[in-house]
């Protein structure tokens, strides 16, 4: 099945560059002098004419991202009787009360608080513990037990969640962890596989001389980790923090199987729980969806560059 895949890739990938075919290709007039080469590295815009045709196409395609969001906004502001036709028109009369209704109906403050507590708790605990585990593994790869542990964590990446979701739901219920605390622990533990992998790769690139110097000065391994290594991990902490945050905030399946008390419901779970109660009052439902999506969307808009560079860094490692 994967064999034909690359062949399908090629023609459609060719499409975007082709419109610019009439124009000179990228960096056409570079004679290869070293100064030119450096200048052309990441900022070709300054020296080359932008391809407006391609820019237009990319802007147009970017609109597809906004279509469902725009639709959610206009629908959330309508009265139910305005829901006719395709529904892309602006509301004739705006009903802000939809948000107030959704707020009360779904007990928004509680589920938002649950999501926030779970997300923040998971991110903090993940950064503090997973980086430490990775450090111990990375510096002891020559010891069989640590190497084994490394592959033990990594191999779990291939274990699909469905095989453990039934037993883990029973187990957490027995342990009294079918709540926010349980979710924080599970996210932190399940994140280990991927996080140890990226942290170890990053720690391997940190020279050991720093730690040796710290040890000479009489610092213990703990102190060395927290005072010397952990601050150096800042870029990777950002990457792992962002990915963990997106995961914990948006995940649906784990809360669905773990959480038994409705008062512990997260935002996505709450949207599902209230599907029946929204019934056909779509504007209230959409107001509720928007309120569930907006917090993280706002964080993203504010920290956008940082998020993208964080994810990119994770990919290159």
Q: Please, which of residues 101-140 interact with another protein by CB under 8 A?
A: 129-130, 132-133, 135-137, 139-140
- Quick one: 100 or 308, whose CB is closer to another protein? 308
Best CA proximity match to 289, nearest among 265, 270, 304, 276: 270
Cβ of residue 112: shortest distance to another protein, in angstroms?
A: 13
Q: How far is the C-alpha of 115 from the C-alpha of 110, rounded, in Å?
A: 9
Instruction: Quote the least distance from Cβ 164 to another protein, whole Å.
Output: 4
Residue 206 binds another protein (CB under 8 A): no
Q: Which stretch binds another protein (CB under 8 A): 35-43, 91-99, 116-124, 233-241?
A: 35-43
DSSP assignment of 26-39: SSTT----HHHHHH
Measured between alpha carbons, how far is 309 from 313 in angstroms, rounded to an integer?
6
Please name which of 197, 172, 199, 174 lies closest in space to residue 186, comparing C-alpha atoms.
Answer: 172
Question: Which of residues 160, 176, 231, 276 is near another protein by CB under 8 A?
Answer: 160
Per rule CB under 8 A, is residue 179 in the interface with another protein? Answer: no
What is the total count of residues that contact another protein (CB under 8 A)? 128
277 contributes a contact to another protein by CB under 8 A: no
Q: Per rule CB under 8 A, is residue 234 in the interface with another protein?
A: no
**CB atoms < 10 A from the CB of 264, how many?**
21
Kindly give, in sequence order, each residue whose CB lies less than 8 Å from that of residue 111, ignoring residues fewer than 6 positions away. Answer: 265, 266, 267, 269, 270
What residues have CB less than 8 Å from 300, skipping those under 6 apart? 307
Report how far residue 71's alpha carbon sits from residue 84's, in angstroms, rounded to the nearest whole number: 13
Buried b (16+ CB within 10 A) or exposed e, 123-157: bebbbeebbbbbbbbbbeeeeeeeeebbeebeeee
Stretch that binds another protein, among 96-104, 116-124, 149-157, 233-241 (CB under 8 A): 149-157
With CB under 8 A as the contact rule, the residue among 54, 116, 154, 181 that binds another protein is 54
**Would you count residue 279 as binding another protein (CB under 8 A)?**
no
Tokens (6 digits) for 272: 């599902």
Please report whether residue 198 would count as binding another protein according to CB under 8 A: no
Smallest distance, Å, CB 312 to another protein?
4
Among 90, 94, 100, 159, binds another protein (CB under 8 A): 159
Q: Which listed residue (9, 90, 210, 302) binds another protein by CB under 8 A? A: 9
Q: Which range, of 96-104, 105-113, 189-197, 228-236, touches another protein by CB under 8 A?
A: 189-197
Answer for which of 35, 72, 183, 235 binds another protein (CB under 8 A) is 72
> Should residue 276 be labelled a site residue for another protein when binding is judged by CB under 8 A?
no
Residues 102/288, Cβ–Cβ less than 8 Å: yes
């Amino acid at each position: 099945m994967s064999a034909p895949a690359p062949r399908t890739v090629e023609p459609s990938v060719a499409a975007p560059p082709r419109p610019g075919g009439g124009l000179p290709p990228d960096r056409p007039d570079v004679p290869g002098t070293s100064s030119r080469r450096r200048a052309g590295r990441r900022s070709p815009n300054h020296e080359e004419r932008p391809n407006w045709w391609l820019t237009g196409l990319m802007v147009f395609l970017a609109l597809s991202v906004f279509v469902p969001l725009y639709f959610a906004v206009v629908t959330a502001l309508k009265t139910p009787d305005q829901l006719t036709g395709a529904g892309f028109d602006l509301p004739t009369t705006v009903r802000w009360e939809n948000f107030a209704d959704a707020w009360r109906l779904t007990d928004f403050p509680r589920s938002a608080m649950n999501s926030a507590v779970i997300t923040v708790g998971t991110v903090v605990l993940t950064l503090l513990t997973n980086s430490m585990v990775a450090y111990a593994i990375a510096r002891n790869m020559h010891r069989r037990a640590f190497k084994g542990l490394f592959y033990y964590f990594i191999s779990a990446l291939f274990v699909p969640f469905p095989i453990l979701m039934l037993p883990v739901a029973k187990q957490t219920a027995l342990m009294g962890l079918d709540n926010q605390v349980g979710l924080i622990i599970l996210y932190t533990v399940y994140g280990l596989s991927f996080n140890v992998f990226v942290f170890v790769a990053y720690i391997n690139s940190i020279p050991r001389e720093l730690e040796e110097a710290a040890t000479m000065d009489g610092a213990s391994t703990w102190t060395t980790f927290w005072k010397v290594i952990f601050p150096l991990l800042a870029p990777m902490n950002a990457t792992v923090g962002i990915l963990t945050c997106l995961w914990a905030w948006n995940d649906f399946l784990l809360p669905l199987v773990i959480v038994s008390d409705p008062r512990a419901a997260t935002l996505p779970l709450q949207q599902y729980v209230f599907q029946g109660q929204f019934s056909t009052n779509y504007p209230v439902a959409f107001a509720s969806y928007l309120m569930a999506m907006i917090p993280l969307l706002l964080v993203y808009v504010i920290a956008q560059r940082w998020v993208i560079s964080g994810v990119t860094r994770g990919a290159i490692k």
